[in-house]
A and B are shown apart, each in its own frame.
Chain A
Amino acid sequence: AQSVSQHNHHVILSEAASLELGCNYSYGGTVNLFWYVQYPGQHLQLLLKYFSGDPLVKGIKGFEAEFIKSKFSFNLRKPSVQWSDTAEYFCAVTPRGAGSYQLTFGKGTKLSVIP
């Protein structure tokens, strides 16, 4: 079975600072990778996803993530955060092929952006 590790439980940044949230997964086969975001009081929304192709994936609101297969990592980045990015961010993985609906989430990283 796959597992996902998010290294930071809570990250606090000032506006305009750069962001990188770590995500590592454990699985022996090929995977699909996701970042979801949950803004305060709102539902879980898809930020970006990687299925295949260019390992640098661009998502909504200026976020991007890079899949590094050799490191089993899919870190989320944003060059300059805004107060409105305050939210909880979840990395998730599914195996490709059989059982591909088995979306496994990390515990989440809470991001607080200070104006």
Chain B
Amino acid sequence: ETGVTQTPRHLVMGMTNKKSLKCEQHLGHNAMYWYKQSAKKPLELMFVYSLEERVENNSVPSRFSPECPNSSHLFLHLHTLQPEDSALYLCASSQGLTDTQYFGPGTRLTVL
């Protein structure tokens, strides 16, 4: 059973829609992450938050906008996405930036 939950588990959206992905960790961690897992490509780190401050933005297009209101919650706001943004989006958390990361089940996103 995972200590990191993500909603929704599946999302289909058009290119003009605005949607948000939600992640919640129940592990008492203080760092949270967004990853993208595309077919036939390694997981790619997108954003990193530590103590609710963003510490990394790996050249991610501005159509992806993260938000970390507190150490337990992380959002990924999506707008005007492209079909190539279809992927599995994974959230992870850790106790400090140097500790092991624990992953949620992911949101399978399809952009039409």
| Distance in angstroms between the alpha carbons of A36 and B106 in the assembled complex | 15
CB pair A101 B48 closer than 8 Å = yes
CB pair B100 A107 closer than 8 Å = no
A4 within 8 A of B: yes
A82 within 8 A of B: no
Q: A4-B42, A101-B56 are in contact. Are A43 and B48 (CB under 8 A)?
A: no
Which of under 10, 10 to 19, 20 to 34, or 35 or more describes the interface residues of A?
A: 20 to 34
| Distance in angstroms between the alpha carbons of A32 and B56 in the assembled complex | 19
CB pair B42 A107 closer than 8 Å = yes
| Distance in angstroms between the alpha carbons of A83 and B90 in the assembled complex | 26
CB pair B41 A107 closer than 8 Å = yes
Instruction: Determine which of B40, B45, B94, B103 lies in contact with A43 in the assembled complex, contact meaning CB atoms within 8 Å.
Output: B103
CB pair A101 B42 closer than 8 Å = no
CB pair A44 B97 closer than 8 Å = no
A104 within 8 A of B: yes
> Chain B, 30-52, contact with A by CB distance < 8 Å: what is the 0/1 string?
01010000001111010010100
Of all chain A residues, the one with the shortest Cβ separation from B31 is A101
| Distance in angstroms between the alpha carbons of A23 and B91 in the assembled complex | 24
B102 within 8 A of A: yes
| Distance in angstroms between the alpha carbons of A83 and B62 in the assembled complex | 43
CB pair B42 A44 closer than 8 Å = no
Chain B hits for A103, CB < 8 A: 33, 43, 45, 92, 101
Chain B hits for A104, CB < 8 A: 42, 45
Chain A hits for B66, CB < 8 A: none
A46 within 8 A of B: yes
CB pair B103 A44 closer than 8 Å = yes
Q: A4-B42, A103-B45, A105-B42 are in contact. Are A44 and B31 (CB under 8 A)?
A: no
Within 8 A of B (CB), among A13-28: none
CB pair B100 A46 closer than 8 Å = yes
| Distance in angstroms between the alpha carbons of A36 and B37 in the assembled complex | 14
Of all chain B residues, the one with the shortest Cβ separation from A41 is B105
| Distance in angstroms between the alpha carbons of A58 and B44 in the assembled complex | 27
Q: Which residues of B are in contact with A by a Cβ distance under 8 Å?
A: 2, 4, 31, 33, 40-43, 45, 48, 50, 55-56, 90, 92, 94, 97-98, 100-106
